[in-house]
Amino acid sequence: MTPVVWPLVKDESVLKTPIFEVRRNVCQSPKDGQDKGFFVLDCPDWVQVLPITEDGRAVLVRQFRQGTRALSLELPGGVIEKGQEPLEAGQRELREETGYTSESWRHMASFKPNPAVNTNTAHFFVAEKARLTDSTEFDENEDIELVLVDLKELPGMVLRGEIDHAIMSAAISFYFMKEKGC
């Protein structure tokens, strides 16, 4: 049997938080016609930026993450605010989290972070010739350290687990595959 979209029978909000909404979907299984319940996280879209300085360094951020209760080395980025385009959000997030700006932006890809439970899309941009032009403007719950590394080091950092955030690892890997023509 070829997979098909399951008909949505019922959709209800279970929990609303400032970051996401938990929804319970009841869908009809095309296999047996029975109603099946699923939980999904209704999240806003995200944006990640790989800023590359004129001297070939990647601008990364290290910050504490509540989910893992550990520090995480990541690309700058965050939630796309209502009414914002992904590029506009990427430019804002880069400036707020790092103080860097760029005049040269490329959209590299858009990914579904986890289609099994998440409803959102993560947009990935490269900002070339990034320069430190502003002071940072962290959100209330952000405590960020700037980390600059040679761009060529990023694949090894992913392979060694130094960058272990799946979305960041996918974006970095995609960048290098696309740039190398893979």
> Which residue in the block uniquely carries the two structure tokens 């095309």?
30
Cβ atoms 21, 95 nearer than 8 A: no
Cβ atoms 169, 90 nearer than 8 A: no
Residue 21 designated active-site: no
Among the listed residues 93, 140, 142, 145, the single catalytic one is 140
Cβ atoms 110, 124 nearer than 8 A: yes
The secondary structure of 85-110 as a DSSP string is: -HHHHHHHHHHHHHSEE-SEEEEEEE
- Helix locations, the chain, DSSP H: 86-98, 154-159, 166-179
CA distance 176 to 155: 8
CA distance 53 to 99: 12
Residues annotated as catalytic are 140
